[in-house]
């Protein structure tokens, strides 16, 4: 028997409320399948399962709030029979009774914050759309003011006079979550910082030519080229991509790039685009568009929050020249790109105006040194000079 | 389409990206992306929205002409007249 427990979706998350099961006893499930929706203090998250098997028993009912590590459901492993399987333990009041094997357990990343403009459970959102209730008008009764299905039903029944939601509470929670993650980072990770000027003329020309051929819906953003360049470089520098926990660094063969996405009402979250090095720029653009949309709507999947192996931030959008990043634990590196500006550039004894960005690296000294970091940044710079070869 | 109608469509499209904006606070002659805090993804989605609502093509090479509300409206009116709709 396999216990499916409530994963931690952030350094400060200690409990979650089950909103919805997407499985029932007897269903076959596959690793990676979305099986439940959990509401945390920051957002409703679609939870993926990490084992193949058959659902034996659902231990928690929608509406119940349980601690991280509590058994949500029991599964029969492939080939296992219910009669012979060891009975599932009682739902514990504290922590996991039977930890999953490390390889199957999602790593814990402080999901800085994932509230969109409003915290709404997916079930509530769907119902509200069906009946035409404006979510902005509801006061949520879920964790930290999240709007739940019950709130929508109450509004439909007219038992509750709609009033203004209180976004101030969301902001406070998000700021607390970011503070917890960043404090842990600054406390535990001996950061070092490097930066490198990267000429962007070739990448800009390549992008302009590529976009000229495309209808507007298919156009690429420079951010996508930067993500891909970082992922390709990270594949050659495994000490930049992975996770550091329990005193040990585990490099990741897959490069899942966390993308720092700022939310309009403040705060940010850096969910992952998976396997960035292996994807085409068109696929990455689609993934990025989708991810930004879902992040701002507050509908992310658990794996997107828990498994980035390196983060990229693009504060140049807001006009800064250089980013001095703070690493998201348990990751070990963060790459920042500043604004692309024309600067005097000397090459072959000639000075000309060149569009240049500053690429910066914040990396973990427990895992790598400045020499490696410098080579990593140089690899990113070189990759951005020849996007046509990717 | 007159200027007021066009402006209404532009503002509505902008609000679908940035619901918090106040139309009365937008300065027509100042940089739109500074006033509304649009990143490049927001900007692209804004232009895709305009493309879909107004059926105009907006080549990337023209982005630099669209930096203020005034310039954007001029550009779009020209495009709409040019295509005869």
A236-256 pLDDT, tens per residue? 999 999 999 999 999 999 999
Per-residue pLDDT band at A149 (split at 50, 70, 90): confident
Which of B13, B31, B41, B52 is the best residue to mutate to test the A interface, defined by the most A CB atoms within 10 Å of its own CB?
B41
Could you give the CA distance from residue A285 to residue B40 in angstroms, rounded to a whole number? 12
Could you give the CA distance from residue A84 to residue A56 in angstroms, rounded to a whole number? 13
Per-residue pLDDT band at A46 (split at 50, 70, 90): confident
Closest-CA residue of chain B to A224 = B41
Nearest neighbour of B60 by CB, restricted to A208, A217, A318: A208
The answer to whether residue A290 scores a pLDDT higher than 60 is yes
Residue A193 DSSP symbol: E
Per-residue pLDDT band at A14 (split at 50, 70, 90): confident
The token pair that represents A93 in the structure block: 């009041």
Residue partners of A38: CB distance under 8 A and separation at least 6: A6, A9, A16, A17, A18, A19, A44, A45, A47, A302
Q: What is the pLDDT of residue A56?
A: 93
Closest by Cα among A259, A261, A16 to A115: A261
Distance to chain A for B44, nearest Cα, Å:
8
Q: What is the pLDDT of residue A137?
A: 58
Q: What is the mean pLDDT of residues A144-166?
A: 60
Are the CB atoms for A296 and A263 separated by under 8 Å?
yes
pLDDT digits 0-9 by tens, A195-229: 999 999 999 999 999 999 999 999 999 999 999 99
ipTM computed for the complex: 0.89
Closest-CA residue of chain A to B51 = A216
Could you give the CA distance from residue B48 to residue A64 in angstroms, rounded to a whole number? 42
Distance to chain A for B64, nearest Cα, Å:
13
Mean pLDDT taken over chain B: 90
Nearest neighbour of B20 by CB, restricted to A212, A217, A264: A264
């Amino acid at each position: 028997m396999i216990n499916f427990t409530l994963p931690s979706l952030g350094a400060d998350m200690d409990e979650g409320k089950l909103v919805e099961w997407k499985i029932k006893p007897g269903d076959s499930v596959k690793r990676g399948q979305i099986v439940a929706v959990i509401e945390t203090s920051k957002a409703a998250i679609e939870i993926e399962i990490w084992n193949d098997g058959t659902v034996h028993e659902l231990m928690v009912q929608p509406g119940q709030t349980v601690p991280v590590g509590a058994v949500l459901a029991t599964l029969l492993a492939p080939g296992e029979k219910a009669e012979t399987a060891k009975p599932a333990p009682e739902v514990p009041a504290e922590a996991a009774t039977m930890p999953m094997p490390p390889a199957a357990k999602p790593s814990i990343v402080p999901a800085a914050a994932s509230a969109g403009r409003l915290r709404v459970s997916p079930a509530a959102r769907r119902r509200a759309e069906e009946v035409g209730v404006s979510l902005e008008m509801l006061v949520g009764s879920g964790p930290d003011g999240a709007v739940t299905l019950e709130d929508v039903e109450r509004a439909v029944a007219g038992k509750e006079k709609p009033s203004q939601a209180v976004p101030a509470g969301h902001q406070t929670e998000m700021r607390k979550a970011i503070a917890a993650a960043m404090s842990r980072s600054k406390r535990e990770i001996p950061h070092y910082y490097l930066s490198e000027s990267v000429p962007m003329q070739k990448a800009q020309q390549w992008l302009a030519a590529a976009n000229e051929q495309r209808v507007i819906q298919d156009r690429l953003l420079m951010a996508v080229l930067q993500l891909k360049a970082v992922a390709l470089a990270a594949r050659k520098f495994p000490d930049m991509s992975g996770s550091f926990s329990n005193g040990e660094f585990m490099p990741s063969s897959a490069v899942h790039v966390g993308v720092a996405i700022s939310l309009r009402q403040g705060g940010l979250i850096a969910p992952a685009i998976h396997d960035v090095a292996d994807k085409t720029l068109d696929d990455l653009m689609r993934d990025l568009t989708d991810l930004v949309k879902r992040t701002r709507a507050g509908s992310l999947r658990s794996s997107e929050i828990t498994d980035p192996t390196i983060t990229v931030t693009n504060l140049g959008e807001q006009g800064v020249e250089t980013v001095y990043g703070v690493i998201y634990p348990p990751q070990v590196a963060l790459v920042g790109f500043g604004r692309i500006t024309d600067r005097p550039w000397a090459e072959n004894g000639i000075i000309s105006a060149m569009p240049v960005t500053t690429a910066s690296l914040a990396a973990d000294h427990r895992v790598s040194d400045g020499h490696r970091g410098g080579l990593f940044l140089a690899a990113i710079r070189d990759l951005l000079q020849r996007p046509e070869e990717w | 389409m007159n200027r007021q109608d066009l402006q209404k469509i532009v503002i509505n499209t902008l609000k679908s990206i940035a619901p918090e904006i106040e139309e009365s606070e937008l300065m027509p002659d100042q940089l739109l992306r500074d006033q509304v805090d649009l990143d490049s993804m927001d900007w692209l989605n804004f232009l895709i929205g305009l493309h879909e609502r107004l059926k105009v093509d907006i080549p990337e090479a023209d982005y630099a002409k669209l930096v203020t509300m005034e310039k954007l409206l001029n550009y779009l009116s020209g495009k709409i007249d040019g295509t005869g709709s």
